Structures are given as structure tokens and as C-alpha cells.
Structure 1
């Protein structure tokens, strides 16, 4: 790419947009009590879930179409994103102080976590162009989803279209970044619908290490498509099959390759679902998913290819007006093919049997469940959950949740040529949580949660043998405080998360787990014009679990968004990430020389969306 971003041109465009007027009006889409499905595998109001769950709406996702999953998630204060550089660089998702491999990421229920320890995939390589809602379930969820859901679940959800139409979006910004998105929907009165779309993102990128010259940028090129065909018949039948595919190249630098080098990736999600109401009080739900992820690093001479085949069948029986039982069976077959593991190819199968009971009446919501997992390598493992929410007053509810969870070792941890150990045991955890939700006057609501998680058999590298071993125990103790305010055209959202992690063997805090995180969003939206600004602030953290001397510095970053709906068919928008252009340090690099991975700095952009 040869063209470069012109700040003066962007400023002029923004000024024109903000100075213009229009008579077009649209409805606001702020949802105060959204419908969620992740907590119990069935639809329910978020306010009735006996756990802490948060929702990122389609409106929030579409504010900046150039953002990836990591960018969007970190506005939740309970989530920490460890990212080795700017746009398109690898990143990890940590939820409530747990590890990245303790966060299960789903797409419409399909498991995206894989067997190469880059779980779940690389969030930077997941496009959100067709995502209508992101649900973040905090706390253990192994009863519903099996392995990996120790810290919680992130579920990316697509919704069937409500009407036929087409949408085209174009974005251009600093570092010669551009993205184009096209989506088309077809809806027939008979109940059939279809969706087809594609997107392309390309950027010159930014400097990855603080020791590099400014012109040593790490570019990123990504493209993909999605298609979905479905049929809905009243409340009796809901069937769909979809495919999502993304591929591209990310230029990166790491401990062994000190010059920018390409990582070629391709991921594909195929998901087929059928929900059928057998009787007025009996519903059958089935799903089959195939997930493929391919990673090729030519300068390593290495490749890392994974595949998940998953099937889930469950029956929901509303045996009384306010009670239901969910019984299900889940099968997961995983493969890992790489020239960096023993025998170059390994596979593992696991079958889970789960039972869940729910009661909802008179302001009381309960959820009790158990799961038996039968893993071909690790035998059987049993987990359970008991949770209750009680509406103590018309505007006040409290909840308590206790649950156990587990994570089976990945095939990479078992068979890697660098530290693999086939004698590993699954990681186990127990979590306790209590919380309060309070509605106040003038559109204000508050939430408070306290939690404690104890993890045993943590898998880490043994410094004496350099093999992966179950040698560590850890605990996470924390709390969350949140405020939401919506009044007419104005809104605000403030969150604060405190978490103290401890490696119980060393007494030190776990690396890359800042104790304090705060987020704040302030905005105005009248359906025609909208403007918002958001703040993310984090405290310092350790860069090593074995050494508390080297700290990851704390930082604060401010973003800005504005839009103008010229009419029902045309929308103009602008975004500025990291207005202060703060180049903060993110990840410590010690080989072959001391350096830091840094964030990408400011990223300003303008865009237009055309709808038909």
C-alpha cells in the first residue's frame, strides 16, 4: 500500500458530518433486558439468569465495523485482552482473572476453542460482520458446555433476518486501513430465509515492538464470507444451516523470529441446527458443527491445523407451568495435525451427558444441573451447578451461584515436541459467587458481584524438566460494580472490576492479570445523530508468574464515535480509537533481547453504510 491517511481530510469530513442537519428520525435500539440463551441453552430474560451475564448489542458492534472480537470485548471490565501488538496481532481473552484457555468461545453454540493452545482460535482473526449479539456469561459453565468453561463463556450469536434487504459498508482510516462489508437478506412469507455476505479488511498495520523503527509495520490482510439458509414455522420448527469462512495473512514478530514474518490463517465454521416442538411442553433441539482452523508460519517451517466435530442433542420438558428439565448428550471429536507434535497427528474424543432443572415463579429463578463427561484419555469427570436468583423487592434482586468446572489438557500440551507430557490430568475448579441488582430512579440501575475461584492441577511448564506438568494451584478473588443509565436520548455505562490472583505455590500474582480495570461510556443517541466516548483504564500487572519485579505498566485509553443517519438508507460514521495516541506496553519479550510488544496507537477512521 502506498497511500497514507490524511488527518486534515478526516477532520474536514467529520466537521461536515457533525455540522449537517436532517429531518429523518429512527427508533433507538437500547435494550434494557435482552433475551439471552447462553446460561441455560434456552431463551430467558437476562434479568432472570441466576448468574452474571452481560450483552453486547448489534448496535454497539456496528459502531466501528473495523473492530475485531478482542477490541469489542475489552469494554467489559471483567475481561482482559493480552495482545502482542496492534490490529491483526495475536491476542488472548482472560475472564475474571482466569487463563485464556479457561474462556470458552462459541459461535451460535459451536465451540471455537481448539487443540493447539491458541484458544479460542486467535480472536483477532474472527470477523464480526454478521454477529447480532455477543453474550458474556461469567463464572463456570461446564454443566452446559463441558471442558474449558472455567472462567466463563463468550457466545457470538447471529439472528435470522426480519425482512429482505441489502447493506453495504465502507471504512477508511489511518495506517491505510480499509474495510468493505456487504450483506444481503431474503425473507419469504412461507418462513424460509437466506443470508449471504462478505467482507475484506486490509491495513499497513503498526509497529509491533518498542525497539523497532516506525517504518517496520506489521500489515494485516483478511477476507471472508458467510451464508445461511433457514426455515421458521411459528414456534414449532426452527432449522438453519450456515457457513462462515475467514482467511488472510498477519505479519508478526516473536521470540524466535525478530523480523516481521507472515502467519497465514484460514478458519471455517459450519453449523446446522434444528429445534422442533414435539408437544406443547416438549422441545427437541439438535446441532452439528464442524470447525476448522489452519495456521501456517513459513519462516518457522511449521503448520498448526485443528478440527472440531461436535454434535449436541437435548430435550426440554416443561413438566409443570413453572418448571422444566433439560437433558442432553454432547459429542466432541477433535484433531490436531502439526509438524511440531509427536507423530504429526493426534485426536481425542469426549462425550458428555448433562441434566438441568429450572424453576421460575414468584420472583424466584433457580438452576441446578450436573454433567458427566466421558473422555477417551482421561476417563469420566463429573461437575455440577446450583444457582438461585430472588426478587426480594420489586426493584431489587439478589443471586448466588456455585459451580465446578474442568479443562481437559489440549493435544498440544500432551504431545508438543517442546514440553508435551501425555501424563497430564485435567484442570479442575470450584467457583462461588453472590450478587445484587438494583433499579433506581431516573433510568439508573446498579449491579454488584463478588466471586472466588479455586483452580487445581493447573498446567504449566516445570522449570526443572521443561515439561508441561500439573504443578500449580491458583485462586482468583474479585468483585464487580456496574452502573447503567438510560434517559431519553442519553445513556451511560460504568464498570469496575477488581481481581486478585494468586499462584498458591509461589504466592505471586499470575502474570498479565491487572488487579483493577475500569470502563466508562457516555453517549447521546436520538436515532438520527449519535455521539459517544468510552474510557478503558487498567492498573499495572506482573509480566511473569515467577517474578514480581518486571511490571506491565497500567494505562488509560479513550475512544470516540459519532454517526449521522442522513435517511433510512444512508448512514455516515466516524471513529477514533485511542484519541491520545498512547503507545502503552502490553507484553514483555525477553529473547533475543529485551523489548515490549506495544499497542498500535491511535486509529481514526470514517465510513458510510448504505441500506436497501
Structure 2
């Protein structure tokens, strides 16, 4: 899947909610947003959310191992923990280590739609939204009773099966899906730990909705993923872990309930209660006692009121977030923190001019009050053209592990960021182009430093770093004859602001190309991903991760009105490359799948 996956700027029938937490036509959004639809996700053959996102503008992915290995997403060069990830409004995160959502745990098979907001959004979402927001929407119910079944086989002995039912009846909407994936895997560390690192994962999702009375809806979401995956804990042959069948257990459960009420044509409210549980454990061998076991629980409550009248919109939101970490390596082993927030938003459009203002006040039980704000302006200076400019602040509170583990330090301060960006967008009849230049300065950056104020003599977390994330993102889509073309180019310079060295595992240049066409009842697609070289660690004297290029091909065809065939080849040239030094990528992979949808 390439950049064609995103809806072109200016699609009037596309509505997004992530930018301001209210429904806004994509044509009117002032932020830098991409949308991935259900058809694109289905054709991608992706295992997890991260595999879908990697082909969007401004996103890089690194992975220590196979499809379910530790995955990092760098949005505009920011760290993984600088991006908020949500499922149907449910915040997903972990308070262990440096934090950040475990995107590899979110199954792609149960995703209907993805919205990606590039740029700080702490004035809307609070802590962690330093680089952007990724929101996943699961499959919902509509129409009559519709069952479905999917079967797939792929390289490395990979087998998948999914089943589900969707529909609506008597005011109820429902969607239920289950899935299982198993793979023999491949050797992710050929030079050190010679074993096959396979995995098995079970997934499930449930969406329920009920129309109570006119204008009032009650909705519930549950998403579940439970995986057992092989991994290699070391690249050193002399390590005690060498040649062992290390395993990881990954379990994610996300539950949310929300009530939406439309009191008049202008006034609506939303009440949402959510809870996400994330467990990660490592085992030295199958069935062994975990050598590391950590559990994060995040609960949120949101009450939001929205007023929309002609060209004016206003929001007021109260939000409560409670974080809990249970980890044997923290003192105490069960730690908690809470944040209470008030958020205000105001948008005004008059003629060719559009303003959006957001402000938020967060009161953290550990770190006190933090005020964040954002101001954006858009000017339609010519038909189909718009100039945008924005500035915003953000913050990220340290994780509970960074505070209470033996490497933690009570004096840690939240990271702070200030972002500025300028963009120009064009959209006309399926043709679109955008160019966005940005600079995001982050202070109080938390890094793992040498021995200091913590209990460990090995090293401590400390506010020792500053970062400057700057660059330009160019993207566009167009059509010629029977071919849809897409492209994105990221020219970025994410650096340590103190030393001037590029941040680890981030390239300066990323080019993504896509082409899609139809031929004799087949839908054909090709995409290319080109990445520049990268440093494996910021202390390296030179880039040790060379640049690489990948070509992916896919073809799908409706065999009957109910049955669809999907064929896909990733990394057609069997290019050997690494996103983390010492960890191999799977090489050329072939996928064949059949889906059946009842009519």
C-alpha cells in the first residue's frame, strides 16, 4: 500500500473527527491529516496497524523482529511515545519503559478506517500528543445481516482465518469479528540466535450501537488481541540468552462506551468512558515463568459539549485520565497517576478565511498544572488553493516506570514542545497536492543517561536532551487515463538539538510512490518505498543502517458476487535490509487470500 491510501485533500464527502474531536469535512481541516479507508486496509494484507501506517507520509517504522516484534513508529521524526494512539476513542498506551502504544498488538483485520494527524495536538488530547495522533475505527454494523469469512496463506508458514457478522435491526447496530494467525516465522537474528521466531495470535472485536430516541445514540466497543511470539533477546553469541527460544506474551484489551446526544440542530454532547489494559511479558522458553511482566491500565472519562451554528463551532470538554502500572521492577509495584483537564475549542470560517483556536489545562497528580494551546489559520487565496499556518505547544509526562523503577528519578520533569508549520494545499476533481513545512522543538527530553540520582548504578532516566524535528512533507494524488497515481516525499532532519546529530533510526529522505489500475476485472496495485540511511544509535560515528528500496505488488478480483481473491507480493526484489541493527526483516513474502461476504 502506498500514499494512494490517504484520501486526497479536498474530498468533500470525507469527514474526520481526530483533528478537533468533532466531525469536520476533510476539505475544512486546517491540520495535516491522512485517511486510510477499509478497501485499502483489506488489500494491504497487513498483520497489524503498524504495517498499514508505514506507507503514509511522515511515518517511519522500526521493528526488533517479526510482525509482532517490538515496533516503533516515528511520526515526523518524533519518538513512539510522542504519538497518541486511540481505538474508537479509547486511548492505548503503556506506562512501562519509555511508554508509547504497542501498535503491533492492534490487528489490521478488524480496522475499518484510520485517521492520522501530523503535528502536536496536546491542546485537544493532553499529554503525549507531541508529534501527532493516530485514531483507529473498528468495523461497525449497517444494513442487513452480513456474515463474512476470510482465509489466507503466506510465506514462512503463515496462515490466517477471520470470521464475522455485521448488520442493523430494530435500532440496533452490531459487528462481531474473530481471527487467528499462526506463523512458523523466520530467523530474526541470523548472526546470533539461530532459531525460527514464529507466533500465534487470537483476536476479537465487538461493536454495538443503539438508537435510544431521536438524536440519542449509545455505542460500545471492545477490541481484544492475545499473542505468543518468538523473539531474540540478544545479538551477542556470548550472551547467556544465546540460542534460547525466548517468547513474548502480548495482550491488549480495549473497552469503551459512549452516549451521543443531539439536543438541537446546533448543540450536541458526548459522554465517553473507556478502559485499556496492556500486558507485556517475556519468557526464557515456552511455558516458563515470565522473567519480565508488566501491566498498564488506562481509564478515561470524557464529557464534551459542541455548538455548531453556520460558520462557527465551539467545544467545551472535561476529561479525566487514570494511569496504573503493575510491575515487579517498580517501588511500589503498583503505581498510579491521574490527570484532570478542561479543554476549549473555537472555529470560525468567514469567506476565504478560517481560524481554529484550542486551549487545554491539565492538572497532573504528580507534576501539577500544564497549559497547552494551538492556533491555526487557513486562507483560500484562489479557487481550489488554500494556505495554512499554525503554532502549538505540547507536553508529555514521564511514564510511571521512568518515575518509580530503579532507573527512575522523582525529579523528572515533563517534556515540552513548541511546533510551527506552514502549508499549501490544492484539490480539484480527484487531483490533489500538499506541501507542509514544520519545526518542532522539544525540551526536557527524557533519555537514559549514566549513573545519577536513581538507585541503579547502571544508569538513570533524566531530562538531559533536547530535540529539533524539522522538515517538509510533499504529497499528492492524480489520475491519468485508467491509472491512479500517488506520491509522498519527506525531507526531514530530526536531530539532537544539543549535539546536532541525527536521531537514531530515522532517515533524512523518504519517498513513497503508488499506482493503481483496473484490467479485465482485476484491480492491480504497485507501491514503492525508498528510505535513506540511518544511524542505529545516536552515538554511532556513521550511519550503520544503509538505505533501502522496496517494491510491493497486489492484485484482487471478484470471483463471484460473494468471493474475492487477493494476491500480494511484498519486497518483490527480496531486498535484505534492517530497521534495527542485527534484526533481519522477512525478505520477499507472498500472500494469497480468499474472502467471502454473504449477500
What TM-score, normalized by structure 2, do the two folds share?
Answer: 0.92
Whole-angstrom distance in 1 between the partners of 2:113 and 2:326 = 33
Q: Is the 8 A contact 2:142 2:174 kept in 1?
A: no
Change (3 A) 1:234 1:76: farther
State the 1:421 CA deviation. 1.2
Q: Is the 8 A contact 1:167 1:184 kept in 2?
A: yes
Change (3 A) 1:66 1:461: closer
> Alignment partner of 1:543: what SS?
coil
Q: Does 1:564 align with 2:564?
A: no
Whole-angstrom distance in 1 between the partners of 2:587 and 2:330 = 37
Q: What whole-Å deviation, never above 9, does each CA across 1:329-381 have from its counterpart, x for those lacking one?
A: 11100110011212211111111110000113423332101000000000000
State the 1:505 CA deviation. 1.9
Q: Does 1:457 align with 2:447?
A: no
Q: 1:238-257 residue pairs with structure 2 within 5 A?
A: 238-255=217-234, 257=241
Match of 2:505 among 508, 512, 522: 512
Tell me the residue number matched to 1:155: 135
Whole-angstrom distance in 2 between the partners of 1:106 and 1:30 = 20
Q: Does 1:551 align with 2:540?
A: no
Whole-angstrom distance in 2 between the partners of 1:36 and 1:268 = 25
Whole-angstrom distance in 2 between the partners of 1:178 and 1:275 = 40
Q: 1:48-67 residue pairs with structure 2 within 5 A?
A: 48-67=28-47
Q: Is the 8 A contact 1:427 1:458 kept in 2?
A: yes
State the 1:233 CA deviation. 6.5
Could you list the structure 1 runs, at least 4 aligned residues long, displaced by more than 6 angstroms after superposition. 28-31
Tell me the residue number matched to 2:178: 198
> Alignment partner of 2:465: what SS?
strand
State the 1:195 CA deviation. 1.2
Q: What whole-Å deviation, never above 9, does each CA across 1:80-99 have from its counterpart, x for those lacking one?
A: 10111232211111100111
Q: Is the 8 A contact 1:386 1:402 kept in 2?
A: yes
> Alignment partner of 1:134: what SS?
strand
Change (3 A) 1:191 1:525: farther
Q: What whole-Å deviation, never above 9, does each CA across 1:381-420 have from its counterpart, x for those lacking one?
A: 0000000122111111111111000000001111122x21
Whole-angstrom distance in 1 between the partners of 2:486 and 2:37 = 13
Q: Does 1:467 align with 2:463?
A: no
Q: Does 1:141 align with 2:132?
A: no
Q: Is the 8 A contact 1:85 1:586 kept in 2?
A: no
Change (3 A) 1:533 1:487: same
Change (3 A) 1:359 1:528: farther
Q: 1:389-538 residue pairs with structure 2 within 5 A?
A: 389-417=378-406, 419-439=407-427, 443-465=430-452, 466-486=459-479, 489-525=482-518, 528-538=521-531
Tell me the residue number matched to 1:349: 338
State the 1:528 CA deviation. 3.9
Q: Is the 8 A contact 1:352 1:373 kept in 2?
A: yes
Q: What whole-Å deviation, never above 9, does each CA across 1:85-143 have from its counterpart, x for those lacking one?
A: 23221111110011110011111111102211464442222102221111110000001
Whole-angstrom distance in 2 between the partners of 1:260 and 1:208 = 12
Tell me the residue number matched to 2:455: none
Q: 1:82-231 residue pairs with structure 2 within 5 A?
A: 82-117=62-97, 119-158=99-138, 160-163=140-143, 164-188=145-169, 190-212=170-192, 216-231=195-210
Tell me the residue number matched to 1:593: none
Q: Is the 8 A contact 1:348 1:376 kept in 2?
A: yes
> Alignment partner of 1:94: what SS?
strand
> Alignment partner of 2:52: what SS?
helix
Whole-angstrom distance in 2 between the partners of 1:87 and 1:141 = 29
Change (3 A) 1:137 1:526: farther
Whole-angstrom distance in 1 between the partners of 2:268 and 2:280 = 39
Aligned residue pairs, count: 573
Q: Is the 8 A contact 1:402 1:431 kept in 2?
A: yes
What TM-score, normalized by structure 1, do the two folds share?
Answer: 0.90
> Alignment partner of 1:238: what SS?
strand
> Alignment partner of 2:390: what SS?
strand
Q: 1:72-91 residue pairs with structure 2 within 5 A?
A: 72-91=52-71
Match of 1:270 among 255, 265, 290: 255
For structure 1, which segment, 458-467 or 106-115, has the greater mean C-alpha deviation from structure 2 after superposition?
458-467
Give the gaps of 5 or more residues in structure 1. 1-27, 589-595
Q: Is the 8 A contact 2:7 2:35 kept in 1?
A: no
State the 1:556 CA deviation. 0.7
Q: What whole-Å deviation, never above 9, does each CA across 1:251-284 have from its counterpart, x for those lacking one?
A: 1112373333111121100010111012322111
Q: Does 1:287 align with 2:272?
A: yes
> Alignment partner of 1:547: what SS?
coil
Tell me the residue number matched to 2:572: 579
Whole-angstrom distance in 1 between the partners of 2:491 and 2:6 = 31
State the 1:583 CA deviation. 2.0
Whole-angstrom distance in 2 between the partners of 1:235 and 1:114 = 39
Q: What whole-Å deviation, never above 9, does each CA across 1:530-560 have from its counterpart, x for those lacking one?
A: 0101111110111112233252111111111
Q: 1:14-25 residue pairs with structure 2 within 5 A?
A: none
State the 1:567 CA deviation. 2.6
Tell me the residue number matched to 1:302: 292
Give the gaps of 5 or more residues in structure 2. 285-289, 453-458
> Alignment partner of 1:414: what SS?
helix
Whole-angstrom distance in 1 between the partners of 2:214 and 2:412 = 46
